[in-house]
Structure 1
Amino acid sequence: MENLKVNQLMEIVFEGDNFREYYPVRIENIDEKAIHMGMPMKQGGIVRLKIGQEIRCVFRNSNNQYYGFSTTITDIIKKPFPMLIAEKPSQMSTINQKRAYVRLEVTLPIQYRLIDDSNDSADDPEVFHNGHTVNISAGGVLFSTNMRLETQQHIEVKLYIPNYEPFCCQAKVLRVFDKVDSKRKYFWVAIQYEEISDAKRDRIFNYIFEKERELIKSAYKRQERML
């Protein structure tokens, strides 16, 4: 059985008839019978769970293999920060990597250039067009730009994730939305990463996780000041 470790990131899976979403959490402690983990968060708010609820968790080991297990919540701690306590799993199973990543609404700079089907630049390779993110996930980005792109178009994007050096990856345009305000016409472009290393994807994943933690800590501090 793969070993879980303190401070390891994993994800809690929520599934419905037509959706599957993954929420990042960190393992805070492990004892003989239980796993202590942070509460899952979405857009700065806690995802509500209850004692006795069964949850599905997934994590990736050092060999980039994904494992999953089911467990039951045995307790919920609210202070000093929200945390779940769940039964330590007796068995795990390997799973595939296809997933719907959690998105974070955040404005970050982004640059892109067009590439053709042979992965050669359709633009000047030294010239990138500018935009900014509307939201971002470890699976793709929704960004705003003044240039209209076409669905199924291939682009190279340069991402500027705080606390990391900028990095590039290839992506495909999934959808384009026309937008208009009082001053100009612009476009929202939804892209999915096509060629991205696990290390680069982890940078995005870790940034989203830490940002969500900051948001929930701020929300709890505001709540405590009001009491």
Structure 2
Amino acid sequence: MDLKLAGFKIKQSQRITVSRDEEDKRQFVSSVEYTDDRKISITVPLHNQIPLELRRGETVYVRVPMNSFSLEFSSRVVSYTSENILLVNLEQPQSCKRVQRRGTVRFKLLLNIRIALLPGDPKEQPLFKDAVALDLSAGGLEFMTTEQYQRETFVLVAFHLEVQKNKTNSFLVKSLVRRVIPISPRKFKVGVQFLDLSMADTDRIFQYIFKKSAEKDYWKK
């Protein structure tokens, strides 16, 4: 079911983060369950299963991930309702801002990935080697490897992300090596730019970064 938020259509149970103000690094994860012209009903925001204690009249800052940006706005707690679950009712915002996220948010992580040089012959099978990603964005990633790659080389990057709980998405992305930093004679840090990434996969990576950033209270802009 589609809901409306500040003039934008969102899906029911859309994941959001809630903090006490825009500068607060501690972000609590919630979801939008209902909207009308006057209010937005969200689940109680949680961080590591600890609820954010909110009083009526208190102002909070909300971030809602969209396809290529996030909607951000301040709102006021107006009431609580309890049906099947306890919901916090917020005022519909008078205004909100769009914050471009895609390709700019880099999330630090340790993720097992596989890298292969792009074969010159389409009939040739790529030879994948194991590597470890150190950070990820919707525009590319950085990884550690024992293989020495050359700048401006085309590679294939394969990895898996748990974008939604208990649901893993697989990615195979043609990429371009943009930088190579020797760490030791047999260890290299390599940065690649994603090429030909579908809109659906871009959105999945963006959603993954948003979710993990919220869980760790960490945005690197």
Equivalent position SS for 1:201: helix
Decide whether the 8 Å contact of 2:117 with 2:156 is kept in 1: yes
Q: Percent identity?
A: 19
CA distance in 2, matches of 1:159, 1:139: 15
CA distance in 2, matches of 1:169, 1:54: 35
Per residue, is there more strand in 1 or in 2? 2
Cα distance, 1:192 vs structure 2 = 2.0
Cα distance, 1:128 vs structure 2 = 2.0
Aligned to 1:150: 150
Please list, as runs of the form range in 1=range in 2, the aligned pairs for 1:136-215 lying within 5 A after superposition: 136-162=136-162, 163-164=167-168, 166-180=170-184, 185-209=186-210, 211=212
Deviation track 1:86-134 (CA, whole Å, cap 9, x = no partner) reads 542356788877541241412323222236xxxx459953322331212
Equivalent position SS for 1:195: coil
1:59 aligns with 2:59: no
Aligned to 2:83: none
- Gaps in structure 2 of 5+ consecutive residues: 1-6, 49-57, 78-86
Deviation track 1:136-193 (CA, whole Å, cap 9, x = no partner) reads 233321111112223333222112335536431111222222113xxx6211111121
Distance change in 2, residues 1:190/1:204 (3 Å): same
CA distance in 2, matches of 1:151, 1:204: 24
Please list, as runs of the form range in 1=range in 2, the aligned pairs for 1:20-31 lying within 5 A after superposition: 27-31=31-35
Letter of the 1:29 counterpart: E
Equivalent position SS for 1:200: helix
Alpha-carbon RMSD: 4.5
User: Which range moves more in the overlay, 100-109 or 87-96?
Assistant: 87-96
The number of residues matched between the two structures is 184
Decide whether the 8 Å contact of 2:16 with 2:62 is kept in 1: no
**Which TM-score applies when normalising by structure 1?**
0.57
CA distance in 1, matches of 2:17, 2:200: 17
- Gaps in structure 1 of 5+ consecutive residues: 16-22, 45-50, 61-65, 76-82, 217-227
Please list, as runs of the form range in 1=range in 2, the aligned pairs for 1:28-43 lying within 5 A after superposition: 28-31=32-35, 32-34=38-40, 36=42
